[in-house]
Structure 1
Amino acid sequence: MGNCLGNRRDSDSLLMCGDDEDGQFALGQDQPLRQEQEAWLSEVALTEGSLQGKRDTFWETAPVYEGRREIWDALRAACEATDEGDYELAQAILQGASISLPRGRLTECYDELGNRYVIPKYCISKPTNMAAANHNDDDIEEIVDSTTKLLQGPPTPTSPSRKASGSGEIRRRLPQDTGLTMVVKVRLSTLSKDTKVTVLETARVKDLKRQLATDQSVDPRKLTMLYSGRVLNNGTLLKDLEIPKGFVIQAVVM
Structure 2
Amino acid sequence: MGGCVGREREDTQDHGASRSSGRAHRKRGRHKWTRVTSCYPSTSTEKMYAHYCRNEPLKKDKPKWKSDYPMTEGQLRSKRDEFWDTAPAFEGRKEIWDALKAATVALECNDHELAQAIVDGASITLPHGSLTECYDELGSRYQLPVYCLAPPVNLISERSDEDPGDSPEPTAAPKKEFQLKVRLSTGKDLRLSASMGDSIGQLKKQLQAQEDIDTAHQRWFFSGKLLTDKTRLQDTKIQKDFVIQVIVNPQAPIN
TM-score bucket of the superposed structures, by smaller chain: 0.3 to 0.5
- Structure of greater relative contact order (alpha carbons < 8 Å, 6+ residues apart): 1
| TM-score (ref. length: structure 2) | 0.43
* Richer in strand (by share): 2
